[in-house]
Chains A and B, each alone.
Chain A
Amino acid sequence: MGEFVTEIKQLVVEGEDDAVEGVVREAIAGGVTPAEIIEKALLPAIEEVGRLWAAGAYFIPDVIMSADAFRCVMKTLATNMQLAELCVGKVVIGTVVGDLHDLGKNIVAAMLEGSGFRVIDLGVDVETAAFVERCLAIQPDILAIGAYMSTTMLRIPEVINAVRAAGLAQVKVMIGGAPVTRAFADEVGADGYGEDALAAVKVARSLMGVRKNDV
């Protein structure tokens, strides 16, 4: 198992999405469980990417390549029935109406998937009513709202209020995006705020009460 997880971790950190799929299949065929792949390879890979990002050694292209490799691993694991049991929580994610920026949202979604969340991505330019409708249908643990312009950021409280008004008080709301600040998150009553994608993962896991290295 050790060699497989080390190789998977390394390929994810290096963003080798083409290569990692085959190794994951080999690992599963060799008896490594999805839980072990997530716990021993993906979570340490996320931590390593976070460390490299914080150290200034990784740039957004590096994070994108790693995020794609995360996605590839999760897609491969998703064929295994055991995966549903490993889900840390369900996250609905999208950007507010009027906002067409998908870069930050996509990275957050990929990182959340890589850390064990089931992510339902509503895409960009999501009407407030659509956020509510999908949250009522999906009953997520977390609603992650992104806004990447100072004008669209102002739609975030509208979404939060609508979700609360729909009786979804149990849904934790986390927000993020370039113009969003912690002060703004506090002001609009968000449960969590992530300054970047890697912080968003920590916040999401914290909202779910997940301790470091728990799966």
Chain B
Amino acid sequence: MTFDWREGAARVAAASKGTPDRVPIIAQLHDHAMLLAGVSANRFFRDAETLVKTELAVSRYYGLDVPFLLFDAYNIEAEAMGQEIRYREGQLPELNYTNPLIQEPEDFGRLEPPEAGVSGRMPFVLDCMEVFRAETGFLPSAVFCAPFSLAVALRGYRNLVKDIRRRPDLAHRLFCFITDEVLAPWIGTMIKRFPDLTSVAGTDAWASPPNTTLEMMREFVLSYTVRLRERFGQVWTRGYWGESVCGNPEEMLRLKMELGGRSLLVFDPDVAKLGPMFFTDFAVREDVPLTIGMDARLLRDGPVDLIVERVRHYVSVAAPRGKFTFYLANVPADTPPEHIHAAVAAVRTFGQYPIGDLAEVEFTLPQFESFEDFLAREDGGGAWR
């Protein structure tokens, strides 16, 4: 273990139950970390030590409370089944959604499930979890691609929604296959390898309005999450967004809690459109912790003043009752580090409990230090690269 993350982890845990000393700040920054550290995509997404050590160093650089193990979670199972994927420098590996394995319904019969834990980069994922635990002292969540998003990867989004509308029986056969023959063995393998796992989380942003309707989410998303949960216990699926376009945001939030457990993770632009008070009121009524993910475009494009004001606004509305975490969601690869530092510093400044009138709180930008200078000071120049 090279850095003690326990203080931040305790803050995050306290924020899920009540009021910590300040609002925790966490972030999702895998390809950004890769670019910032100057690591090749081919190595980053294949070598567990490189990925984990890069993400940990970048998380420390920005002063995040806890790091996350982040990789291209939407690709692993589909790639292991033979779905075409392209690796390009400076980018996340990308499945070729235009050339899905199941082009025609008869292709479905030829589909073979992967050998759980062995096929494709599944061993890489297991190695990442092992390295992350060794480096941080914490076992990360076991992450998998949830059934709907995996169905998109294998069938293509357009084909899939046409199946759902025109041939629902075929769609359900595909979802049963994915759930029972692809994901269940894979989750079982992760649980067997790490018996002390406390969290198994499916990532499922594809299954969000307006990509889906709420009715589709109930029939094709929730039912298969529940199917996995009945088999393994604490299995959740997350990453859903779209409250501002779904037609019934309260119903969607309740659905998200059925899918993801009794906590709420919401993102811009939904928060900006509906207002943070809408989500805060709901979280208070349901007595659940709330995490708000800030606009990735704003974080990338700036300017810093607007980023700081967005943080001030969200913290002033959502944080006072406690049970609140600030999240920099899906940080674009090319986001200027100065913007991320500003957002983190703003959360640290405005998020001190008790939270008073934030209009009166002065904010000073932290002195900027480059990642290379940070590594030279803290990490021996980043020899792991």
Chain A contact residues, CB within 8 Å of chain B: 15, 56-57, 59-61, 64-65, 68, 98-103, 106, 123-124, 149-152, 154, 179, 181, 183-184
Contact = CB atoms under 8 A, between A and B. Distances in A.
B97 A103 contact: yes
Interface string B155-194: 0011001101100000000000000000000000000000
B90 A56 contact: no
A214 to B, nearest CB: 30
A68 B164 CA distance: 15
Given A68-B162, A124-B98, 9 more contacts: A60-B161, A61-B212, A64-B162, A98-B88, A99-B94, A100-B96, A101-B97, A149-B91, A151-B90
B141 interface: no
B332 A179 contact: yes
B216 interface: yes
A150 B329 CA distance: 14
A122 to B, nearest CB: 12
Contacts of B161: 60-61, 64-65
A61 B94 CA distance: 23
Report, nearest first, the 5 A-B pairs whose CB atoms are least far apart: A150-B332, A61-B161, A59-B210, A102-B98, A60-B210
B332 A60 contact: no
B144 to A, nearest CB: 22
Nearest to A105: B98
Nearest to B91: A151
Contact of B165 (A61, A123, A179, A183): A61
A106 B157 CA distance: 12
B97 A65 contact: no
Interface of B: 31, 86, 88, 90-92, 94-98, 157-158, 161-162, 164-165, 209-213, 216, 245-247, 296-297, 300-301, 332-334
B333 A151 contact: yes
Tell me the interface secondary structure of chain A in the complex. Answer: loop
A147 to B, nearest CB: 12
Nearest to B85: A100
A61 B300 CA distance: 30
A60 B247 contact: no
A150 B165 contact: no
B158 A103 contact: yes
Contacts of A57: 247
A150 B212 contact: no
B247 A61 contact: no
Contacts of B94: 98-100, 149
A176 to B, nearest CB: 14
A123 B97 CA distance: 12
22 contacts: A56-B245, A56-B246, A59-B209, A60-B161, A61-B164, A61-B211, A64-B161, A65-B161, A65-B162, A98-B88, A98-B94, A100-B94, A100-B97, A103-B158, A106-B158, A150-B300, A151-B90, A151-B332, A154-B334, A179-B297, A183-B301, A184-B301
B216 A61 contact: yes
B155 to A, nearest CB: 13
A113 to B, nearest CB: 16
A65 to B, nearest CB: 6
A188 B332 CA distance: 19
Q: Which of B92, B94, B301 has the most CB atoms of chain A within a 10 A radius of its CB?
A: B94
A181 B297 contact: yes
A180 to B, nearest CB: 10
Contacts of A149: 91-92, 94
A179 B157 CA distance: 19
Nearest to A101: B97
A123 B246 CA distance: 30
B158 A151 contact: no
A101 B97 CA distance: 7
B97 A102 contact: yes
B365 to A, nearest CB: 23
Q: Which of A15, A64, A183 has the most CB atoms of chain B within a 10 A radius of its CB?
A: A64
A182 to B, nearest CB: 11
A44 B202 CA distance: 42
Nearest to A95: B98
A183 B216 CA distance: 35
Given A64-B162, A179-B332, A100 B95 contact: yes
A87 to B, nearest CB: 26
A73 to B, nearest CB: 17
A123 B301 contact: no
A124 B100 CA distance: 14
Contact of A150 (B88, B216, B246, B334): B334
Contacts of A124: 98
B213 A59 contact: yes
A64 B158 contact: yes
A123 B98 contact: yes
Nearest to B216: A61
Nearest to B157: A103
Contacts of B301: 181, 183-184
A151 B158 CA distance: 24
B91 A152 contact: yes
Contacts of B90: 151
Q: Which of B158, B164, B301 has the most CB atoms of chain A within a 10 A radius of its CB?
A: B158
